[in-house]
Each structure stands twice: as structure tokens, then as C-alpha cells.
Structure 1
């Protein structure tokens, strides 16, 4: 990874308390939020732009519904006054939001993406970012996945889902890197 431009945006996707609920099942990478916090601190220290994305589920019983406490962003990466929060209702942070307009208006071309969950909102946003022409990085150890059951009834561990989700975007839509690599490139 080359040196990141000074205007590289850190995009924190759906780092919400509701993902701590047991309904999601087994999760990998328990240290993801600590790595997100390390990157966030570095971004703030170097006066780089940070954007938070928050999922607002339309389902009343969802932990991510706006009326439930799980909708709140986790304290470890709590936004500061003045930091932008984009609200979305679908997997991609680009659909139904002004994220692309915000990035283009300010001339941002490089994104570093972290957050939850790897297989859904992180990878969907990374795919769209790549297709829209942004230089996109996804930080493997600052994202996490939950296990899934396939249509054939086979269970896939959180580790497998995470690894395959990253493999399907690497070198096609984004470069997959780790926290240490990003920190060295600042």
C-alpha cells in the first residue's frame, strides 16, 4: 500500500450496539472495534475526514431500528460534534443517501472502509465504491462477520464468511489490507 493521500476518508459502517445482540449468532474478529478505534484516532490526529454510516432498520423488532437502543453507535468509536453521520436503510451506504455527492463535492477519491458486517454492508459499500471509481481499501481486521446458513442448509462459520467476503472484493472492487498497513501508510 502506497502512502495515503491527506484527504483519504475513513468510512465507519454500522458500528452499532445492536450488533452485540445474540440474535446475530457467532461472530469472528472480536478485536475489530479496537482496530476501528485505532484508525479513528489516527484519522482525527492527522485531521483527515471521517464519515460514520448508521443503518436504520425499517423493521420494528430489529436491534438496528431507530427506536431501539441498539441503533446507537458504539462508544468506542463515538462520533464527535461536527463529524458527518450518513443514515441508510439498505446495505450500501451509497443508495438513498448523499454519500457520493458529499465525497465528490469535497474532492475525496480514496476511501478506507471499516465496520460491520463484512458480508453485507461493508462489502456492498466497497463494491459500489469501486464501481463508482473511488480508490477503496477494506481493513480486514477492522471488520467482522457473522456465521451463516446457506440455501443448502450448510452452516458457514463467521471466519469462513469473513474470509470469503473479503476474497470476493479483493483486487476487483477494493484492496484488502490490515490495520498495521493502513497505519504505516498515513
Structure 2
């Protein structure tokens, strides 16, 4: 793990997320996630694949449903850690904190979906737990939705607000290119 930027947390890259029929942002996010995954694999840095398993039997993410499976391009390899969660925050009842602490991992790089949901919840906990946390903004994505007042918000607006909520207080928010520039080449 020499010169490791920390563990890469890939959040909820499951087949079911492709079934959401709403406008989304960052259409190239999966390619940037895949590039980070390839870099971590090449360097032998720690990787954690986080999968959402719903408690609702009719959910696309319910156990045994095709939607709960990883997308083929993000299929974990044998040496990579896989953790399951059933709430947005990947630290809740998953063993993630213990897995990181036992290995002496103090820094995290977070990518995945959804920016304002699982990504933001996980990054907030990571920051609160004292991990040096980076969120790769253009390797995260989300979907359009209405705000609390019922006003429609674009996926870009939802994503940008989530990144603003994290920046500086819970995490360092940067682009994939900025992450590459800040890290050594394996």
C-alpha cells in the first residue's frame, strides 16, 4: 500500500440503479469510477465495494433480485472487500469502520451513487469518525427530484448541493483529474 491515497469506496454500483427512469447528472461517472477502480487494482490499494440490500421485499435491491447484483464492470475481485448496507450510510451495521481501523486505513476516496443519499451519508460519517475523506464529484451521480417545498430540482442541482454540504466540513470534494494530479502513479 505504498503511497496509497486510502481505501476506495465504490457505493451502490448495482444493476438496479440503471432501472431508475429519471434524469441524472454526470453521464460519464461510471467511466470515471471504472478508471479509479482500475488504478486501485493496479496499485494494490484497498478497495471496498458497498452494496445496498433493501429490507423491502418488492425493492429492486431486495436480496435475490437481479437489481441487487453488481454491474458487470464493477464486479468485485476475490481480494476486494464487499460490504452490504440497508440504510444510506455505509458505516451503519456493515462492519466498515472496523474493517478500516483493523487495517490502519485513515483515508477514504468515495465514488458512486446517489450523491445526496448514500454518498453524502457515508462521507458525513467518515468525516465525523476522523477519516481523511475525499469525494470525487464527477465520479458520483444522482437523479432529479423535488425539494422539500415541492419544487422540481435538476440532477445537477441536487448533486451540487450535496457536494456543497460536504466540502470542507466532512470531506474534500474534487474532480477525478484533481485526484489523479494529487496522487502518485502506481
TM range (shorter): over 0.9
Q: Which runs of 4+ in 1 moved over 4 A?
A: none
Out of 118, 122, 143, the position equivalent to 1:146 is 143
Query: TM-score, with normalisation over the residues of structure 2?
Result: 0.94
- 2:174 and 2:121 mapped to 1: Cα distance? 17
Deviations 1:100-147 (A, max 9, x none): 001000000000000111010000000000000000000001100111
Query: TM-score, with normalisation over the residues of structure 1?
Result: 0.94
Gaps of 5+ in 2: none
Aligned length: 182
The CA RMSD over aligned residues, in Å, is 1.3
Contact 2:10 2:111 in 1 (8 A): yes
Contact 2:5 2:109 in 1 (8 A): no
- 1:22 and 1:42 mapped to 2: Cα distance? 28
- 2:85 and 2:79 mapped to 1: Cα distance? 19
- 1:163 and 1:7 mapped to 2: Cα distance? 24
Question: Post-superposition shift, 1:7?
Answer: 5.9
Question: 1:76 and 2:85 equivalent?
Answer: no
Question: 1:100 and 2:97 equivalent?
Answer: yes
Q: How does 1:15-164 map to 2 (within 5 A)?
A: 15-23=13-21, 25-164=22-161
Deviations 1:140-177 (A, max 9, x none): 01100111112322111101000010001000000001
- 2:128 and 2:68 mapped to 1: Cα distance? 29
Contact 1:8 1:108 in 2 (8 A): yes
Gaps of 5+ in 1: none
**Which deviates the most, 97-106 or 61-70?**
61-70
Question: Post-superposition shift, 1:183?
Answer: 1.8
